[in-house]
């Protein structure tokens, strides 16, 4: 068995950072000024190994936060999420390359896509879109 968390976080970070959108791991800094940014949440994994292979199924949540506009804030947020989805999964067969880590992503699905509105604070309306990706990983 081999830990896959750092590898998964790194490939997601690299895919999103290429857009470019600010990307943070775990939580955003206290002084963030970007109107739209992404937070990579912790990886959640379950071992799915067999007698013949070492495997793990993992999920990772990307939280895309926006406070760009007081009204109709979802338009900019949705455009940013579209860019993220295109970077991570441009087609139905896409997977992220984990081969530098001795791993192989076997499939990749968007398990959940949920928008949450948090209301107004200091004249800004906060809205978040949570994208949860699920993938099976084969440990080479």
Number of structural domains (the chain) is: 1
Tell me what percent of the residues of the chain surpass a pLDDT of 70: 96
Residue 30, φ and ψ in degrees, nearest 5: -60, -30
Contacts of 83 (CB under 8 A, 6+ apart): 19, 21
Calculate the average pLDDT of the chain.
93
Q: Which residue has the tokens 């001795």?
A: 102
pTM (predicted TM-score): 0.93
Average pLDDT over residues 107-117: 96
CATH number, residue 99: 3.30.2000.30
Residue pLDDT, tens place only, 2-22: 999 999 999 999 999 999 899
Residue 118: in which H helix or E strand, if any?
Answer: strand 103-121
Is the CB of residue 81 less than 8 Å from the CB of residue 116?
no
Average pLDDT over residues 73-80: 89
Helices (H), the chain: 5-17, 74-88
pLDDT-derived band at 72 (thresholds 50, 70, 90) equals low
pLDDT of residue 71: 67
List the domain range (segments joined by +) for residue 126: 5-139
pLDDT-derived band at 94 (thresholds 50, 70, 90) equals very high
pLDDT of residue 51: 93
* CA atoms 30, 34, 36, 42: torsion sign: negative
């Amino acid at each position: 068995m081999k830990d896959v968390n750092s590898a998964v976080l790194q490939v997601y970070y690299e895919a999103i950072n290429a857009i470019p959108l600010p990307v943070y791991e775990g939580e955003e800094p206290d002084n963030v000024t970007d109107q739209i940014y992404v937070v990579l949440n912790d990886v959640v994994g379950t071992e799915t190994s067999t007698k013949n292979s070492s495997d793990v199924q993992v999920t990772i949540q990307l939280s895309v936060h926006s406070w760009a506009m007081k009204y109709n804030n979802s338009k900019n947020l949705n455009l940013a999420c579209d860019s993220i989805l295109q970077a991570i999964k441009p087609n139905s067969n896409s997977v992220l390359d984990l081969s530098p880590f001795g791993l192989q992503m076997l499939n990749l699905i968007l398990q959940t896509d949920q928008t949450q509105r948090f209301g107004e604070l200091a004249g800004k309306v906060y809205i978040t879109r949570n994208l949860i990706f699920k993938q099976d990983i084969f440990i080479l």
